[in-house]
A and B are shown apart, each in its own frame.
Chain A
Amino acid sequence: MEDKEFFQKAVNSKYAKKIGKHTRLKESLIKIFFAVNGTMALIFIILIFVFLFKEGFKALDHIGLLDFLYLDRPDASGNIERVFQWYPTSEEPRYSLIPLLIGTFLTAFPATIISTLLGVGAGIYLSEVANPKFKEFLKPMIELFAGIPTVVLGFIMLVVGASFFNDILHPANRLNAFVASIGLSFVIIPIIASLTEDALHSIPNDLRMASYGLGATKWQTISKVILPAAFSGVSASILLGFGRAIGETMIVLMCAGNAANLTSNIFLSVRTMTATIAAEMGEVSQGSDHYYSLFFIGIVLFTITFFLNLIAEIIINKMRKKNTF
């Protein structure tokens, strides 16, 4: 090892080649190029946050936080009356988000309930009941279903669905929260169905075998073993579906009637947060209080959906960790 000869070989060895400045520069430039792109993607995400909040908080310059909840005003006889109204274009503008929040939940909540029943059922069918070959064909169908543009669903609910329910239920308003929530279900069912299917599918087969081995029937296995094991995944899918229902615009804009009623009656017209932004942003004059208050609604929307998604993601990540031993 100490032999001199060995080290003398280094002089004209092909291993001795030093790293080329050119190569090193090129490789680092390429790396920087990709890093810049990655950073830019992140910056866009941050910018969404920044510009939404920057514009939205300007609303608070002239409108108090409480004004977004209610307005106290004297009525004809001089008594103070507390009103919950969204009427920003009035002489005496009212900015209460309460009717919009109610409208949003009155459409999103029933939609989520309907979609949970049907979507989880469909997910169970896909994962546990359907024959595997048929499933290969059905899963893409669900995806196609999920890919239908929401304006199409809004259109169909508007021209067909609304009349259909009008004839059988005779609601007070032809366009109402119920019709919108049926429309929303079309969006959410495929989401819940495919995520439920994922959650059920990720349950190790051993668990099924163990259950069958103990003499359990198929349904006992599904209801007592598989569903409880996939509970967190299924709940995450419902949360994501709910978030999607709250954030959906076109269907509620076309089908919910758009009157900012303060009601718990699902058969009355309501106005959601998303529809308010969509309907009013086009006409509002830039820089007005009304304009900023629409951004403020955006903040509320963003925050609600952000937390719903975050919780869902945390649940899903936990589930992944649990299922990979």
Chain B
Amino acid sequence: MELKKRKKDIAGFVSIGIVRITFSFLVLILLLLLGKIFIEGIGVISLEFLIDEPRNNMTEGGIGPAIFGTVAVTLLMVLFAVPLGVFSAIYLNEYAKDTFFTRIIRTSINNLAGVPSIVFGLFGLGFFILFIGKNLDEVFQTGLLFGQPALLWASTTLAVLVLPIVIVSTLEALNSVPKSHRDASYGLGATKWQTIKNVVLPQARPGILTGTILAISRGAGETAPILFLGAAFFLPNLPVADLCIGDYCIPMINPTEQFMYLAYHIFIMATQSANPTKTLPIQYGSTLVLIVLTFLLNITAIIFRYRFRKLLGRL
């Protein structure tokens, strides 16, 4: 009986074997890929590499300005996307009744996540730069200031791109707060806003944070949409300007300037470098930095979410 059964299942044994091999193959490829980047890239990594400017027609030096630009753009992006996304999600989950209209919003948000990122670039150009920017220039008589590719418009465009990530994870987080906790709060005489502020949001915070981190990681890794929104090959100066109140000045990100971007830097160095073979170590180094950055962000998000789910599971 035992033997017979085994014999019959050779097909199954083979099939499951294939499934296992498939997965192992993928893991192997992934490890090779990451290993290659690590081995080739680790050599150039040093503090100088992370802070220095590119030198000698970009064949030497570091990636400091590209890192700065990435941080600046994603920072502004978060400033736009997170409040808008979180507030929208609060509206959808806490205030709006389930109507045809809200279902349309939800469907559109899901679909927005599938729009090719290059299309967001077109949108940024058509809407932010040529419509909003040009009109700002006209209204404030600033000459050509806002109506051209700049850090600000790269951030706003990326903000729209990551909006679905923020909204969807916030919705999930709000949804996971048990109804019984809201009932308890209302039962104690809290208003809707008090309930949201004191009961719902504190419990949803880790989930919202997870979404924010995922959004940053996505934004920092995007290249296509910013290609024509102000990402620059090389800039002698950081996009910084002094903001002065009276005599007191502090350096601030200048959102009207162009910027260097780590992901864009990799693309440019790999395809348009003056000497691609000589700069190969720099390319690997930059890639390693970008990968480590996105991995750290994603791992943080994963750990956050894991803790968050575990916490909820206990309630």
Contacts and interface: CB of A to CB of B under 8 A. Distances in A.
Contacts of B145: none
Contacts of A282: 227-228
B58 interface: no
B111 A143 contact: no
A25 B228 CA distance: 45
A148 B293 CA distance: 10
A172 interface: no
Contacts of B115: 48, 247, 302, 305-306
Contact of B26 (A122, A130, A277): A122
Given A158-B271, A278-B118, A281-B121, A310 B111 contact: yes
Max chain B C-beta neighbours (<10 A), residue from A26, A278, A294: A278
Contact of A34 (B95, B263, B294, B306): B95
Interface in B21-73: 22-23, 25-27, 30, 33, 36-37
A41 B167 contact: yes
Contacts of A281: 121-122, 125, 227-228
A193 B84 CA distance: 31
Nearest to A23: B191
**Interface bin, chain B:** 35 or more
B201 interface: no
A33 B197 CA distance: 14
Given A52-B123, A282-B227, A217 B12 contact: yes
B223 A144 contact: no
B263 A149 contact: yes
A-side interface mostly: helix
Given A27-B193, A118-B26, A40 B84 contact: yes
B-side interface mostly: helix
A30 interface: yes
Contacts of A78: none
Contacts, number: 238
Contacts of B294: 147-149
Interface string A129-149: 110000000001101110111
29 contacts: A26-B193, A27-B193, A35-B96, A40-B88, A41-B84, A41-B109, A45-B112, A48-B160, A51-B131, A121-B22, A125-B23, A129-B23, A130-B23, A140-B299, A140-B302, A145-B30, A149-B222, A152-B287, A152-B291, A156-B36, A243-B114, A249-B224, A250-B267, A254-B271, A278-B224, A281-B227, A301-B119, A302-B116, A309-B111
Interface of A: 23, 26-27, 30-31, 33-35, 37-38, 40-42, 44-45, 47-48, 51-52, 54-55, 117-118, 121-122, 124-126, 129-130, 140-141, 143-145, 147-152, 154-156, 158-160, 186, 189, 193, 217-220, 222-223, 240, 243-244, 246-250, 253-254, 274, 277-278, 281-282, 286, 294-295, 298, 301-302, 305-306, 308-310, 313
